[in-house]
Structure 1
Amino acid sequence: MRTMRTVPVYCTKLKCFNVLPVITMAPADEENPVDPFSCLPDELILRVFSFLQPALVHLPPVAQVCKRWCGLCQDSSLWTSLKFSSTTFSSTQQEDVFCNILQRRGNVQRIDLSACWNLVTDRYLEHVGKNCSKLTQLNISGCRRITDRGLAHVANGCKKLRNVVIHACPEITCQGVVSLAKQCVNLEELTISDCEGLWRDPHRMRTIPAYCTRLKCFNVGWSSASRGIVIDLDIKHFAMYCTQLRHLNVRSSQITDNGIAYIAQYCRLLEHLDLGHCFITDTGMKCRFPRLRHLDLNGCWHLTDSGLKYLAANNPNLEYLNIDWCFRITDKGIEHLAKRCPKLRHVSMAHCFSVSNRGIKQLSQNCPGIAELNVSGNFLLTDKALRYLAESNTVSLRTLNVEGCTRLTDQGMGLLLQTCAQLERLNVRDCRNLSPDGMWLLNNNIHVEGLCQREIPSFLCS
């Protein structure tokens, strides 16, 4: 113990110091072997058990090990999160099993029903509403049999809800979402994406935000282009009431530059914005978002170099940008972006057919922190582009997608892999000038995608 006093003299820069107690065990003998776990306190064992998720899958067999573990597995702290699946209900009395589980676990805070979408009905949500008053998160993605009635049961019994995910639930309408929003006033994250039922009464969408003033994350995007029901007037209401928004997804909606102006005017805290496949032009890019870090403009094919110039000038803190299929953008636009947004870490500009080596040069020289780059389908790129990346991104670049860049050769790829030692993933699908047996494959221990079809050893490809 005396030597412990001398330790601080040599550790003046310590920021964290932890001295763990030593657990001593009596010597074992042949008749009474010592079980190391039996020496651990209950608190430590519970901590270990807490990592066994999902609890419904892993804890039941653990409980059969011994009486002590069986008792510990009943601790309410282990059952705050429940992820159900179709295998959870192995008996014919599926609903009864579900109800019994909820009745015995009064401390449930998170429920995920997305993996048993074919079983869940409104009756299941009725049990949730009756037995889970502490519930804060609910995921019913893909539950096609749930209707507004089921949402009403949840709204009546789960007033503490903060995060609700309703994705691809065709029977859910705006009326059900409004009833949920009215009673769950603490909602901070709400997803109502790909719900075809919203089309039955789309004008009620604008009544939702009046009851969700605490929303920080709102997702009403659609996976298919031009299917969203949100229009500029809806966005105006959301922006005016939900001024605390940090994350907004209106992908494939019918909003225009006017809608973007409303968002910029009222949502000054916005950090993540998804406008993919919306009717956005260069005018919309004149809006300024002080905290914007993540912007998705995939499929906004009206955008030109002028739009990127406005975007870069008004949002210099961008870290993520997706401009896939914005085929009117050229090297000039990329140059504006690179010079004004040096913090970029993830850039995706697939199928921007007018972007050439010059654009890659500007990006690599001015944005040294780029970790992920997608330039797939840009057939103007040659080995020069790879050389620019090799010269400027020797440390940061970890993921590169050059699928369909048919002018790349072994020489350029070899130079890139020799220089970018941190590269982890590489997609070279349809790069027909890269030889499957080229020596560049042996330069790095990376995950290579897109070479299986060319009959090379399976360990070199995905």
Structure 2
Amino acid sequence: MTSAAENTVVKTYYSDRAFPLLPNEVTLLIFSYLTQQTRLKLCRVSKAFKALAYTPLLWNETIIYNTNGLELDSTLKRLKNIQALDARATKITDEFAKKLLVSSARHALKILDLSVTGITNISLMSIGFNCTSLEKLFLEGCKEISNITSLANLSSTCNLTTLVLSHCESIDDDTIFSFLTVTNTTILKTLIKLDIDGCYKITDDGINLIATRLIKLKYLVIDGQEISDYSIISVLCNCKELELLAISFSESLTDMVLEELILNLQPSFKFLKLRKGTSFSEEGFRNFFEALKRREHSFYSLDLSECTNITNSNLFYFHQPQLRWLNLDWCWGIKDSSLMYLIMGCPNIQEIMMTGCNYITCESLFYKIEQLDLSSLVTLNFCSCKLIEPELIIKLGKLYPKLYIIDYYGEVYKQGKKVGFKDEVYVEDEICELEVGGREKRWGKLNVGDFKRFYRFYSV
């Protein structure tokens, strides 16, 4: 028989184990495969579970959902080895950012997302003077930020590749000038992804400075409201490694940009967005499409929405064999024959957006059904297309069971049946790489009507 003394020894030996028969090192390994939310639930099981779940090693990638108690020393201790922090849309403060970034975390932190928070220039000073390993910084929608000069102080050991400043409305040409003229040469060589969409105060001067200083850019997203041909041509001439260029407002751009695109076209340039290009002419688009076909250059994603001079006459020359995603929303000159040209000229097309194309009836798809290959097509968006009859959508859905078709009202049909609205329906078995890095949020889904699907084939 086991004595009382021996029982006491056994209980003491196993008391700090989450599972009595498993060493904590093994349990810790199991916990590492769980998401943050699951680990937090396990804290309620026992003190041993809580102690293990709060081990700093498990908090290398952290999402902040609730800021209550965030500034406690115990929280900062838990985050001492953090490599990726997502505090998007929280009430995080400058004070917490300062405390975190003067702790040992400043040496490990590689990915930081403070988007849609109330942080100010003070937090940027903490980042600039303390982070030694930062690679990706997301500051989307931080409206209190007006000065990013302090980021120029980032350590030369940083490998800053991504800077997202979209919809930071206070950023202007002076902000860009002060950052790029004093920044260390390391950032100029490593920064390959810059997003300043919604920064409408940046004009040609700011974009030209970006083009001449950040020549290693592969990914550039800009607003475009104050932009003319001059600065976009500068981008195309200087940034020879560009893979993605997205301009949200292209009203002031002319055919000169289309011509320069052809002259400076690199094989790696696969994503182009020229939304609201109302000043591009019908002939300009025809020459552009013809030149792309001659050069045998094909994009993966192309957004020409609200380019009103895209018509049947120039789409006849549209040939993009590698194209996966195409947005022609509100291109009013498109007719049924255009849809035929698109399907025949883009054999690998998966998604076609044609919102507001009021001359589309879809009848031509049935007249030449034997000549068409729709096997790769996943989504057809006919939202606000008033001439397409519901019966045709149902019939087309039955012919192609995997096809998602969006009708006039934004309802989605599959296999001839309604399956929900476009903002609620996701492509079956599809999973996408999302913008923010880190295991916790790296993968997710985009609904069939999401404009971010333009970026779906871009590797982040």
Q: Report the TM-score range of the alignment, normalised by the length of the smaller protein.
A: 0.7 to 0.9
Q: Name the aligned partner's letter for residue 115 of structure 1.
A: A
Q: Distance in 2 between matches of 1:260 and 1:215?
A: 19
Q: Deviations over 1:391-430 (max 9, x none)?
A: 534311111110121211244324422332321x321134
Asked if structure 2 preserves the Cα contact closer than 8 Å seen for 1:360 and 1:389, the reply is no
1:450 shift after superposition: 7.2
Q: Deviations over 1:294-327 (max 9, x none)?
A: 1111112112333333444257221111111111
SS in 2 for 1:198: coil
Q: Distance in 1 between matches of 2:367 and 2:180?
A: 48
Q: Within the alignment, does 1:405 sit opposite 2:385 as a pair?
A: yes
Q: Distance in 1 between matches of 2:315 and 2:25?
A: 55
Alpha carbons of structure 1 residues 404 and 148: separation in structure 2 relative to 1, 3 Å: same
Asked if structure 2 preserves the Cα contact closer than 8 Å seen for 1:426 and 1:448, the reply is no
Alpha carbons of structure 1 residues 38 and 324: separation in structure 2 relative to 1, 3 Å: farther
Q: Distance in 2 between matches of 1:332 and 1:39?
A: 75
Asked if structure 2 preserves the Cα contact closer than 8 Å seen for 1:393 and 1:420, the reply is no
Alpha carbons of structure 1 residues 403 and 104: separation in structure 2 relative to 1, 3 Å: closer
Please list, as runs of the form range in 1=range in 2, the aligned pairs for 1:363-442 lying within 5 A after superposition: 363-387=342-366, 392-423=372-403, 425-430=404-409
Asked if structure 2 preserves the Cα contact closer than 8 Å seen for 1:382 and 1:408, the reply is yes
Q: Distance in 2 between matches of 1:310 and 1:65?
A: 67
**Residues 42-51 or 163-172, more deviating:** 42-51
Match of 2:97 among 125, 140, 162: 125
Q: Name the aligned partner's letter for residue 234 of structure 2.
A: Y
Q: Name the aligned partner's letter for residue 168 of structure 1.
A: G
SS in 2 for 1:197: coil
1:233 shift after superposition: 2.5
Question: TM-score, normalization: structure 2?
Answer: 0.76
Match of 2:303 among 322, 337, 353: 322
- Alignment gaps of 5+ in structure 1: 1-36, 453-461
1:356 shift after superposition: 0.4
Identical residues among aligned pairs (%): 22
Please list, as runs of the form range in 1=range in 2, the aligned pairs for 1:79-118 lying within 5 A after superposition: 79-86=59-66, 88-89=67-68, 94=69, 96-97=71-72, 99-116=73-90
Match of 2:245 in 1: 273
Q: Deviations over 1:7-40 (max 9, x none)?
A: xxxxxxxxxxxxxxxxxxxxxxxxxxxxxx8777
Q: Name the aligned partner's letter for residue 197 of structure 2.
A: G
Q: Name the aligned partner's letter for residue 327 of structure 1.
A: T
Q: Distance in 2 between matches of 1:352 and 1:47?
A: 54
Q: Distance in 2 between matches of 1:311 and 1:42?
A: 63
Match of 2:31 in 1: 49
Match of 2:196 among 199, 217, 220: 220
Q: Distance in 2 between matches of 1:451 and 1:127?
A: 39
Q: Within the alignment, does 1:283 sit opposite 2:273 as a pair?
A: no
Q: Name the aligned partner's letter for residue 284 of structure 2.
A: G
Q: Distance in 2 between matches of 1:151 and 1:75?
A: 28
1:275 shift after superposition: 1.1
Asked if structure 2 preserves the Cα contact closer than 8 Å seen for 1:276 and 1:299, the reply is yes
Q: Deviations over 1:176-212 (max 9, x none)?
A: x11113325521100112122224xx32313433533
Q: Distance in 2 between matches of 1:59 and 1:451?
A: 31
SS in 1 for 2:363: helix
Q: Name the aligned partner's letter for residue 319 of structure 1.
A: Y
1:152 shift after superposition: 0.4
Asked if structure 1 preserves the Cα contact closer than 8 Å seen for 2:378 and 2:402, the reply is yes
Asked if structure 2 preserves the Cα contact closer than 8 Å seen for 1:275 and 1:298, the reply is yes
Please list, as runs of the form range in 1=range in 2, the aligned pairs for 1:439-454 lying within 5 A after superposition: 443-444=415-416, 447-449=419-421
The number of residues matched between the two structures is 389
Q: Distance in 2 between matches of 1:70 and 1:389?
A: 65
1:351 shift after superposition: 0.8
Q: Name the aligned partner's letter for residue 164 of structure 1.
A: L
Q: Name the aligned partner's letter for residue 111 of structure 1.
A: L
Asked if structure 2 preserves the Cα contact closer than 8 Å seen for 1:428 and 1:448, the reply is no
Asked if structure 2 preserves the Cα contact closer than 8 Å seen for 1:220 and 1:251, the reply is yes
Please list, as runs of the form range in 1=range in 2, the aligned pairs for 1:126-141 lying within 5 A after superposition: 126-131=98-103, 132-133=105-106, 134-141=108-115
Match of 1:300 in 2: 277
Q: Which has the higher contact order (CA 8 A, sep 6+)?
A: 2
Alpha carbons of structure 1 residues 219 and 407: separation in structure 2 relative to 1, 3 Å: same
Q: Distance in 2 between matches of 1:389 and 1:350?
A: 24
1:67 shift after superposition: 6.0
Match of 2:232 in 1: 260
Q: Deviations over 1:119-164 (max 9, x none)?
A: 32211111121122111111111112x2212210122221211111
Match of 1:190 in 2: 163
Give the superposed CA RMSD.
3.0
SS in 1 for 2:150: helix
1:112 shift after superposition: 1.6
1:168 shift after superposition: 1.7
